Homo-oligomer: A and B are copies of this chain.
Amino acid sequence: MSARPRAAIVVTGSELVRGERTDRNGPFYAREALSLGLTPERILIVGDDPADLEAVLRSASDADVCLVSGGLGPTHDDRTVELVARVAGAALRVDPGLEEHIEGVSRAIADRLRRPYADFAAGVTKQATVPDGAVVVGIAGTAPGLVLQGERCVYVVMPGPPGELRRLWPAAVASKPFQSVLARTSPPGRKVLRFYGASESAVAQALAQAGGDGGGVEATICARDFEIHVDLVVEPGAEERADAVANALREPLRRYLFTEDERSVAELVLELCRARGYTLATAESCTGGLVAARLTDVPGASDVVAGGVVAYANHVKARELGVPEELIAEHGAVSAEVAAAMAAGVRRQLGVDVGIAVTGVAGPDGGTEEKPVGLVYHHVSAPDGEHGHHFSLPADRDTIRSRATVAALHLARRVLTRSRHEDV
Protein backbone atom coordinates (compact mmCIF):
# COMPACT_ATOMS: atom_id res chain seq x y z
CA MET A 1 0.00 0.00 0.00
CA SER A 2 1.38 3.36 -0.96
CA ALA A 3 2.41 5.76 1.79
CA ARG A 4 1.54 8.73 -0.36
CA PRO A 5 -1.53 10.82 0.48
CA ARG A 6 -4.54 9.33 -1.23
CA ALA A 7 -6.79 11.29 -3.58
CA ALA A 8 -10.41 10.45 -4.32
CA ILE A 9 -11.95 12.24 -7.29
CA VAL A 10 -15.65 13.10 -7.49
CA VAL A 11 -17.11 14.43 -10.72
CA THR A 12 -20.73 15.43 -10.84
CA GLY A 13 -22.90 15.97 -13.91
CA SER A 14 -26.01 14.25 -15.21
CA GLU A 15 -24.74 14.29 -18.79
CA LEU A 16 -21.64 12.43 -17.56
CA VAL A 17 -23.33 9.70 -15.54
CA ARG A 18 -25.72 9.18 -18.45
CA GLY A 19 -22.83 8.74 -20.84
CA GLU A 20 -23.85 11.65 -23.07
CA ARG A 21 -20.46 13.18 -22.61
CA THR A 22 -17.11 11.65 -21.69
CA ASP A 23 -15.58 13.03 -18.51
CA ARG A 24 -12.25 14.79 -18.89
CA ASN A 25 -11.97 16.30 -15.41
CA GLY A 26 -11.40 12.96 -13.68
CA PRO A 27 -8.35 12.10 -15.82
CA PHE A 28 -7.03 15.67 -15.46
CA TYR A 29 -7.33 15.58 -11.68
CA ALA A 30 -5.72 12.11 -11.62
CA ARG A 31 -2.71 13.11 -13.72
CA GLU A 32 -2.21 16.24 -11.65
CA ALA A 33 -2.53 14.34 -8.37
CA LEU A 34 0.02 11.79 -9.53
CA SER A 35 2.50 14.44 -10.63
CA LEU A 36 2.22 16.21 -7.26
CA GLY A 37 3.00 13.05 -5.31
CA LEU A 38 -0.54 11.92 -4.43
CA THR A 39 -2.06 8.54 -5.29
CA PRO A 40 -5.34 8.77 -7.20
CA GLU A 41 -7.39 5.86 -5.93
CA ARG A 42 -10.74 6.21 -7.56
CA ILE A 43 -12.74 8.42 -9.87
CA LEU A 44 -16.43 8.59 -9.02
CA ILE A 45 -18.89 10.02 -11.52
CA VAL A 46 -22.35 10.81 -10.22
CA GLY A 47 -25.43 12.74 -11.42
CA ASP A 48 -27.37 15.60 -9.89
CA ASP A 49 -29.27 13.56 -7.32
CA PRO A 50 -28.22 15.03 -3.98
CA ALA A 51 -28.50 11.71 -2.14
CA ASP A 52 -26.15 10.05 -4.63
CA LEU A 53 -23.71 12.95 -4.51
CA GLU A 54 -23.70 13.02 -0.72
CA ALA A 55 -23.13 9.26 -0.51
CA VAL A 56 -20.25 9.46 -2.95
CA LEU A 57 -18.68 12.42 -1.13
CA ARG A 58 -18.90 10.53 2.16
CA SER A 59 -17.19 7.48 0.69
CA ALA A 60 -14.54 9.73 -0.85
CA SER A 61 -13.89 11.48 2.46
CA ASP A 62 -11.74 8.68 3.83
CA ALA A 63 -9.06 9.80 1.39
CA ASP A 64 -6.57 12.54 2.27
CA VAL A 65 -7.66 14.77 -0.59
CA CYS A 66 -11.05 14.88 -2.25
CA LEU A 67 -11.00 16.56 -5.68
CA VAL A 68 -14.50 17.57 -6.74
CA SER A 69 -15.85 19.16 -9.91
CA GLY A 70 -19.26 20.31 -11.10
CA GLY A 71 -22.52 21.49 -9.62
CA LEU A 72 -21.38 25.01 -8.70
CA GLY A 73 -23.99 26.86 -10.71
CA PRO A 74 -26.75 29.16 -9.45
CA THR A 75 -29.70 26.79 -9.87
CA HIS A 76 -31.37 24.62 -7.26
CA ASP A 77 -29.85 21.52 -8.91
CA ASP A 78 -26.37 22.74 -8.03
CA ARG A 79 -25.83 21.23 -4.60
CA THR A 80 -22.08 20.56 -4.48
CA VAL A 81 -20.99 23.30 -2.10
CA GLU A 82 -23.84 22.61 0.32
CA LEU A 83 -23.15 18.86 0.35
CA VAL A 84 -19.39 19.22 0.71
CA ALA A 85 -20.05 21.46 3.72
CA ARG A 86 -22.44 18.91 5.19
CA VAL A 87 -20.01 16.02 4.74
CA ALA A 88 -17.11 18.09 6.06
CA GLY A 89 -19.17 19.17 9.06
CA ALA A 90 -18.86 22.88 8.26
CA ALA A 91 -21.54 25.54 8.53
CA LEU A 92 -22.49 27.64 5.51
CA ARG A 93 -22.35 31.42 5.43
CA VAL A 94 -22.75 34.16 2.83
CA ASP A 95 -19.46 35.91 2.07
CA PRO A 96 -20.29 39.61 1.54
CA GLY A 97 -17.27 40.46 -0.63
CA LEU A 98 -17.89 37.44 -2.81
CA GLU A 99 -21.58 38.28 -3.07
CA GLU A 100 -20.75 41.80 -4.19
CA HIS A 101 -18.41 40.49 -6.89
CA ILE A 102 -20.84 37.88 -8.17
CA GLU A 103 -23.64 40.45 -8.19
CA GLY A 104 -21.55 42.72 -10.39
CA VAL A 105 -20.89 39.92 -12.88
CA SER A 106 -24.55 38.88 -12.87
CA ARG A 107 -25.82 42.41 -13.44
CA ALA A 108 -23.60 42.64 -16.51
CA ILE A 109 -24.93 39.32 -17.78
CA ALA A 110 -28.52 40.43 -17.10
CA ASP A 111 -27.93 43.61 -19.11
CA ARG A 112 -26.39 41.72 -22.01
CA LEU A 113 -29.27 39.24 -22.12
CA ARG A 114 -31.82 42.01 -21.58
CA ARG A 115 -33.34 40.29 -18.60
CA PRO A 116 -34.25 41.72 -15.18
CA TYR A 117 -31.60 41.28 -12.46
CA ALA A 118 -34.32 39.92 -10.22
CA ASP A 119 -34.11 36.68 -12.23
CA PHE A 120 -30.51 36.25 -11.06
CA ALA A 121 -30.63 37.52 -7.46
CA ALA A 122 -31.34 34.22 -5.71
CA GLY A 123 -28.58 32.52 -7.67
CA VAL A 124 -26.12 35.22 -6.67
CA THR A 125 -26.72 34.70 -2.95
CA LYS A 126 -26.52 30.96 -3.42
CA GLN A 127 -23.17 31.09 -5.18
CA ALA A 128 -21.79 33.46 -2.55
CA THR A 129 -22.69 30.95 0.15
CA VAL A 130 -19.54 29.10 1.16
CA PRO A 131 -18.49 26.76 3.97
CA ASP A 132 -16.94 28.27 7.08
CA GLY A 133 -13.17 28.17 6.75
CA ALA A 134 -13.18 27.64 2.99
CA VAL A 135 -10.53 29.41 0.94
CA VAL A 136 -11.93 30.96 -2.24
CA VAL A 137 -9.19 30.42 -4.82
CA GLY A 138 -10.80 32.08 -7.82
CA ILE A 139 -14.02 32.61 -9.71
CA ALA A 140 -15.18 31.17 -13.00
CA GLY A 141 -17.95 33.44 -14.21
CA THR A 142 -20.13 33.50 -11.11
CA ALA A 143 -18.93 30.23 -9.56
CA PRO A 144 -16.24 30.34 -6.87
CA GLY A 145 -13.64 27.60 -6.67
CA LEU A 146 -12.92 26.56 -3.08
CA VAL A 147 -10.53 24.59 -0.92
CA LEU A 148 -11.79 23.40 2.46
CA GLN A 149 -9.92 21.64 5.24
CA GLY A 150 -12.27 18.98 6.57
CA GLU A 151 -11.76 16.82 9.62
CA ARG A 152 -9.36 14.45 7.92
CA CYS A 153 -9.72 15.32 4.26
CA VAL A 154 -8.96 18.41 2.20
CA TYR A 155 -11.74 19.16 -0.29
CA VAL A 156 -10.97 20.94 -3.56
CA VAL A 157 -14.20 22.14 -5.20
CA MET A 158 -13.85 23.32 -8.80
CA PRO A 159 -16.30 24.20 -11.61
CA GLY A 160 -17.43 21.58 -14.09
CA PRO A 161 -16.37 23.10 -17.44
CA PRO A 162 -12.89 21.68 -18.07
CA GLY A 163 -11.35 24.97 -19.21
CA GLU A 164 -12.50 26.68 -16.01
CA LEU A 165 -11.26 23.88 -13.80
CA ARG A 166 -7.83 24.07 -15.39
CA ARG A 167 -7.75 27.83 -15.00
CA LEU A 168 -8.51 27.77 -11.26
CA TRP A 169 -6.49 24.66 -10.46
CA PRO A 170 -3.05 26.30 -9.90
CA ALA A 171 -4.54 28.57 -7.24
CA ALA A 172 -6.14 25.55 -5.57
CA VAL A 173 -2.78 23.79 -5.51
CA ALA A 174 -1.14 26.88 -4.03
CA SER A 175 -3.73 27.15 -1.25
CA LYS A 176 -2.66 26.56 2.34
CA PRO A 177 -4.74 23.44 3.04
CA PHE A 178 -3.58 21.74 -0.15
CA GLN A 179 0.02 22.72 0.41
CA SER A 180 -0.09 21.18 3.87
CA VAL A 181 -1.02 17.85 2.28
CA LEU A 182 1.69 18.21 -0.33
CA ALA A 183 4.22 18.90 2.42
CA ARG A 184 3.83 15.26 3.44
CA THR A 185 4.95 13.98 0.06
CA SER A 186 7.11 14.78 -2.91
CA PRO A 187 6.58 14.37 -6.62
CA PRO A 188 7.59 10.89 -7.69
CA GLY A 189 10.21 10.29 -10.29
CA ARG A 190 8.92 9.16 -13.63
CA LYS A 191 10.32 7.31 -16.55
CA VAL A 192 8.55 7.10 -19.86
CA LEU A 193 9.31 4.63 -22.63
CA ARG A 194 7.23 4.50 -25.77
CA PHE A 195 7.39 1.74 -28.30
CA TYR A 196 5.95 1.38 -31.78
CA GLY A 197 5.36 -1.91 -33.52
CA ALA A 198 6.13 -4.17 -30.57
CA SER A 199 3.50 -6.59 -29.33
CA GLU A 200 1.94 -5.88 -25.96
CA SER A 201 2.92 -9.34 -24.78
CA ALA A 202 6.58 -8.77 -25.72
CA VAL A 203 6.58 -5.62 -23.62
CA ALA A 204 4.81 -7.38 -20.74
CA GLN A 205 7.32 -10.20 -20.91
CA ALA A 206 10.30 -7.83 -20.87
CA LEU A 207 8.80 -6.11 -17.84
CA ALA A 208 8.18 -9.41 -16.08
CA GLN A 209 11.75 -10.47 -16.71
CA ALA A 210 12.89 -7.22 -15.13
CA GLY A 211 11.03 -8.23 -11.99
CA GLY A 212 7.84 -6.36 -12.78
CA ASP A 213 6.20 -3.95 -10.35
CA GLY A 214 7.49 -3.52 -6.86
CA GLY A 215 10.51 -2.30 -4.98
CA GLY A 216 9.29 1.29 -5.31
CA VAL A 217 8.62 1.12 -9.03
CA GLU A 218 5.09 0.94 -10.41
CA ALA A 219 4.70 0.25 -14.11
CA THR A 220 1.68 0.93 -16.31
CA ILE A 221 1.47 -0.40 -19.85
CA CYS A 222 -0.98 1.31 -22.18
CA ALA A 223 -1.46 0.11 -25.76
CA ARG A 224 -3.23 1.91 -28.56
CA ASP A 225 -2.92 2.10 -32.34
CA PHE A 226 0.31 0.09 -32.43
CA GLU A 227 1.98 2.32 -29.84
CA ILE A 228 2.78 0.96 -26.38
CA HIS A 229 3.37 3.46 -23.61
CA VAL A 230 5.20 2.31 -20.51
CA ASP A 231 5.08 4.65 -17.51
CA LEU A 232 7.23 4.02 -14.45
CA VAL A 233 6.35 5.86 -11.26
CA VAL A 234 9.46 5.87 -9.03
CA GLU A 235 9.38 6.27 -5.26
CA PRO A 236 12.28 8.10 -3.61
CA GLY A 237 15.15 5.67 -3.12
CA ALA A 238 14.05 3.38 -5.92
CA GLU A 239 15.91 5.16 -8.69
CA GLU A 240 18.40 2.32 -9.19
CA ARG A 241 15.64 -0.23 -9.52
CA ALA A 242 13.87 2.06 -12.00
CA ASP A 243 17.02 2.36 -14.10
CA ALA A 244 17.33 -1.42 -14.09
CA VAL A 245 13.72 -1.86 -15.18
CA ALA A 246 14.14 0.73 -17.95
CA ASN A 247 17.30 -1.00 -19.17
CA ALA A 248 15.57 -4.35 -19.14
CA LEU A 249 12.89 -2.87 -21.37
CA ARG A 250 15.25 -1.06 -23.72
CA GLU A 251 17.45 -4.06 -24.40
CA PRO A 252 15.12 -6.50 -26.15
CA LEU A 253 12.90 -3.75 -27.55
CA ARG A 254 15.47 -1.24 -28.77
CA ARG A 255 14.30 -1.24 -32.35
CA TYR A 256 10.76 -0.35 -31.28
CA LEU A 257 11.62 2.41 -28.80
CA PHE A 258 10.83 5.80 -30.29
CA THR A 259 10.91 8.20 -27.38
CA GLU A 260 11.58 8.41 -23.65
CA ASP A 261 9.37 11.40 -23.02
CA GLU A 262 5.82 12.40 -23.73
CA ARG A 263 6.28 13.95 -27.14
CA SER A 264 3.79 12.61 -29.62
CA VAL A 265 4.92 11.06 -32.89
CA ALA A 266 3.53 14.13 -34.69
CA GLU A 267 5.78 16.37 -32.58
CA LEU A 268 8.75 14.12 -33.31
CA VAL A 269 8.13 14.25 -37.06
CA LEU A 270 7.88 18.05 -36.97
CA GLU A 271 11.11 18.30 -34.96
CA LEU A 272 12.96 15.99 -37.34
CA CYS A 273 11.84 18.14 -40.27
CA ARG A 274 12.57 21.40 -38.50
CA ALA A 275 16.12 20.27 -37.69
CA ARG A 276 16.83 19.90 -41.41
CA GLY A 277 14.76 22.80 -42.66
CA TYR A 278 12.37 20.37 -44.35
CA THR A 279 8.79 21.23 -45.30
CA LEU A 280 6.10 18.55 -45.42
CA ALA A 281 2.72 17.79 -46.94
CA THR A 282 0.22 14.97 -46.66
CA ALA A 283 -1.72 13.05 -49.31
CA GLU A 284 -4.57 11.17 -47.73
CA SER A 285 -7.37 8.98 -48.87
CA CYS A 286 -9.01 6.80 -46.21
CA THR A 287 -7.76 8.92 -43.31
CA GLY A 288 -9.62 11.88 -44.82
CA GLY A 289 -7.49 14.64 -43.27
CA LEU A 290 -6.61 13.05 -39.93
CA VAL A 291 -2.85 12.97 -40.62
CA ALA A 292 -2.75 16.67 -41.53
CA ALA A 293 -4.98 17.43 -38.54
CA ARG A 294 -2.73 15.51 -36.16
CA LEU A 295 0.35 17.39 -37.39
CA THR A 296 -1.36 20.80 -37.26
CA ASP A 297 -2.65 19.98 -33.76
CA VAL A 298 0.87 20.89 -32.63
CA PRO A 299 1.35 24.64 -32.09
CA GLY A 300 3.98 26.03 -34.44
CA ALA A 301 3.46 23.35 -37.08
CA SER A 302 3.22 26.04 -39.73
CA ASP A 303 6.98 26.33 -40.18
CA VAL A 304 7.05 22.72 -41.38
CA VAL A 305 3.59 21.79 -42.68
CA ALA A 306 2.69 23.46 -45.97
CA GLY A 307 -0.62 21.60 -46.14
CA GLY A 308 -2.02 18.52 -47.77
CA VAL A 309 -4.47 17.00 -50.18
CA VAL A 310 -7.38 14.82 -49.17
CA ALA A 311 -7.81 12.75 -52.33
CA TYR A 312 -10.89 10.79 -51.43
CA ALA A 313 -12.14 10.27 -54.99
CA ASN A 314 -9.85 8.74 -57.60
CA HIS A 315 -10.17 11.69 -59.95
CA VAL A 316 -8.73 13.89 -57.21
CA LYS A 317 -5.74 11.54 -56.85
CA ALA A 318 -5.21 11.92 -60.57
CA ARG A 319 -5.87 15.63 -60.93
CA GLU A 320 -4.41 17.06 -57.73
CA LEU A 321 -1.60 14.58 -57.13
CA GLY A 322 -0.75 13.59 -60.69
CA VAL A 323 -1.32 9.89 -60.03
CA PRO A 324 -1.60 8.33 -63.50
CA GLU A 325 -5.10 6.97 -64.19
CA GLU A 326 -3.51 3.82 -65.66
CA LEU A 327 -1.70 3.16 -62.38
CA ILE A 328 -5.00 3.31 -60.48
CA ALA A 329 -6.62 1.13 -63.11
CA GLU A 330 -3.84 -1.44 -62.99
CA HIS A 331 -3.12 -1.71 -59.25
CA GLY A 332 -6.18 -0.19 -57.65
CA ALA A 333 -6.42 2.95 -55.53
CA VAL A 334 -5.37 0.92 -52.49
CA SER A 335 -1.90 -0.25 -53.50
CA ALA A 336 1.77 0.36 -52.80
CA GLU A 337 2.17 1.88 -56.27
CA VAL A 338 -0.60 4.44 -55.81
CA ALA A 339 0.62 5.29 -52.30
CA ALA A 340 4.08 5.99 -53.74
CA ALA A 341 2.64 8.10 -56.55
CA MET A 342 0.51 10.07 -54.07
CA ALA A 343 3.54 10.82 -51.88
CA ALA A 344 5.68 11.90 -54.83
CA GLY A 345 2.77 13.85 -56.27
CA VAL A 346 2.09 15.93 -53.17
CA ARG A 347 5.80 16.70 -52.83
CA ARG A 348 5.81 18.03 -56.35
CA GLN A 349 2.48 19.86 -56.28
CA LEU A 350 2.97 21.57 -52.95
CA GLY A 351 6.71 22.07 -53.46
CA VAL A 352 7.78 20.39 -50.21
CA ASP A 353 10.63 18.15 -49.12
CA VAL A 354 8.62 15.37 -47.51
CA GLY A 355 5.40 13.76 -48.71
CA ILE A 356 3.38 11.38 -46.51
CA ALA A 357 0.69 9.32 -48.25
CA VAL A 358 -1.98 6.94 -46.98
CA THR A 359 -4.50 4.91 -48.94
CA GLY A 360 -6.60 2.09 -47.58
CA VAL A 361 -9.96 0.44 -47.03
CA ALA A 362 -11.48 1.92 -43.88
CA GLY A 363 -14.78 0.03 -44.15
CA PRO A 364 -17.31 -1.05 -43.26
CA ASP A 365 -18.03 -1.27 -47.00
CA GLY A 366 -15.59 -1.28 -49.89
CA GLY A 367 -13.62 -4.40 -48.98
CA THR A 368 -13.00 -7.28 -51.38
CA GLU A 369 -11.27 -10.60 -50.94
CA GLU A 370 -8.17 -9.19 -52.56
CA LYS A 371 -8.32 -5.82 -50.77
CA PRO A 372 -10.13 -6.40 -47.50
CA VAL A 373 -11.37 -3.88 -44.96
CA GLY A 374 -8.37 -2.95 -42.83
CA LEU A 375 -5.79 -3.04 -45.64
CA VAL A 376 -3.80 0.20 -45.63
CA TYR A 377 -0.75 1.28 -47.64
CA HIS A 378 1.61 4.06 -46.60
CA HIS A 379 4.41 5.79 -48.41
CA VAL A 380 6.88 8.45 -47.38
CA SER A 381 8.89 10.31 -50.00
CA ALA A 382 11.81 12.37 -48.68
CA PRO A 383 15.29 13.56 -49.70
CA ASP A 384 16.47 10.79 -47.39
CA GLY A 385 14.71 8.13 -49.42
CA GLU A 386 11.50 6.42 -50.35
CA HIS A 387 9.80 3.96 -48.08
CA GLY A 388 6.54 2.08 -48.29
CA HIS A 389 4.72 -0.01 -45.75
CA HIS A 390 1.36 -1.64 -45.28
CA PHE A 391 -0.75 -3.44 -42.73
CA SER A 392 -3.91 -5.50 -43.01
CA LEU A 393 -5.94 -5.86 -39.83
CA PRO A 394 -9.72 -6.05 -39.79
CA ALA A 395 -11.33 -3.63 -37.36
CA ASP A 396 -14.05 -1.00 -37.21
CA ARG A 397 -13.81 2.14 -39.34
CA ASP A 398 -12.64 4.47 -36.59
CA THR A 399 -9.92 2.07 -35.44
CA ILE A 400 -8.61 1.56 -38.98
CA ARG A 401 -8.48 5.31 -39.62
CA SER A 402 -6.81 5.93 -36.30
CA ARG A 403 -4.19 3.22 -36.79
CA ALA A 404 -3.55 4.34 -40.37
CA THR A 405 -2.92 7.89 -39.13
CA VAL A 406 -0.47 6.79 -36.44
CA ALA A 407 1.29 4.35 -38.78
CA ALA A 408 1.77 7.08 -41.40
CA LEU A 409 3.44 9.35 -38.86
CA HIS A 410 5.70 6.58 -37.59
CA LEU A 411 6.75 5.69 -41.11
CA ALA A 412 7.76 9.32 -41.63
CA ARG A 413 9.61 9.27 -38.30
CA ARG A 414 11.52 6.15 -39.25
CA VAL A 415 12.45 7.44 -42.70
CA LEU A 416 13.64 10.76 -41.27
CA THR A 417 15.50 9.09 -38.39
CA ARG A 418 17.29 6.45 -40.37
CA SER A 419 19.03 8.99 -42.49
CA ARG A 420 20.60 10.81 -39.58
CA HIS A 421 24.22 9.98 -39.14
CA GLU A 422 24.12 10.54 -35.39
CA ASP A 423 23.23 7.57 -33.27
CA VAL A 424 19.61 7.99 -32.31
Q: Are B320 and A201 in contact (CB under 8 A)?
A: no
Across the interface, A289 reaches (CB within 8 A) one of B19, B27, B32, B291, namely B291
Q: Are B34 and A27 in contact (CB under 8 A)?
A: no
Surface stretch bound by B, among A132-140, A172-180, A392-400, A408-416: A392-400
Q: Are B30 and A18 in contact (CB under 8 A)?
A: yes
Closest Cβ of chain B to A278, distance in Å, is 13
Max chain B C-beta neighbours (<10 A), residue from A21, A293, A350, A398: A293
Closest Cβ of chain B to A108, distance in Å, is 13
Is A306's beta carbon under 8 Å from chain B? yes
Do A44 and B42 contact each other (CB < 8 Å), given the known contacts A19-B34, A163-B396, A289-B308? yes
In the complex, chain B residues whose CB is within 8 Å of the CB of A272: none
Copies of the chain in the assembly: 2
Contact residues on A (Cβ < 8 Å of other chain), bracket: 35 or more
Do A316 and B45 contact each other (CB < 8 Å), given the known contacts A22-B24, A30-B17? no
Is A148's beta carbon under 8 Å from chain B? no
**0/1 per residue, A301-320, Cβ < 8 Å to B?**
11001111111110110011
Is A186's beta carbon under 8 Å from chain B? no
Q: Are A46 and B41 in contact (CB under 8 A)?
A: yes
Q: Are A311 and B307 in contact (CB under 8 A)?
A: yes
With A16-B27, A20-B220 known, 9 other A-B pairs at CB within 8 A are A15-B222, A21-B27, A23-B43, A44-B45, A59-B59, A297-B397, A299-B363, A306-B312, A307-B312
| 28 A-B contact pairs sorted by A residue (CB < 8 Å) | A15-B220, A18-B34, A19-B30, A19-B32, A20-B229, A21-B224, A22-B23, A22-B24, A41-B49, A42-B46, A43-B46, A44-B45, A45-B45, A59-B59, A287-B293, A288-B296, A288-B301, A289-B289, A289-B292, A292-B312, A293-B293, A306-B313, A306-B315, A309-B309, A309-B310, A316-B350, A319-B351, A320-B320
Interface residues of A (CB under 8 A from B): 1, 14-24, 26-32, 34, 40-47, 49, 51-52, 56, 59, 75, 109, 113, 115, 163, 199, 201-202, 204-205, 220-222, 224, 229, 231, 279, 281-282, 284, 286-293, 295-297, 299-302, 305-313, 315-316, 319-320, 349-351, 363-366, 395-399, 401
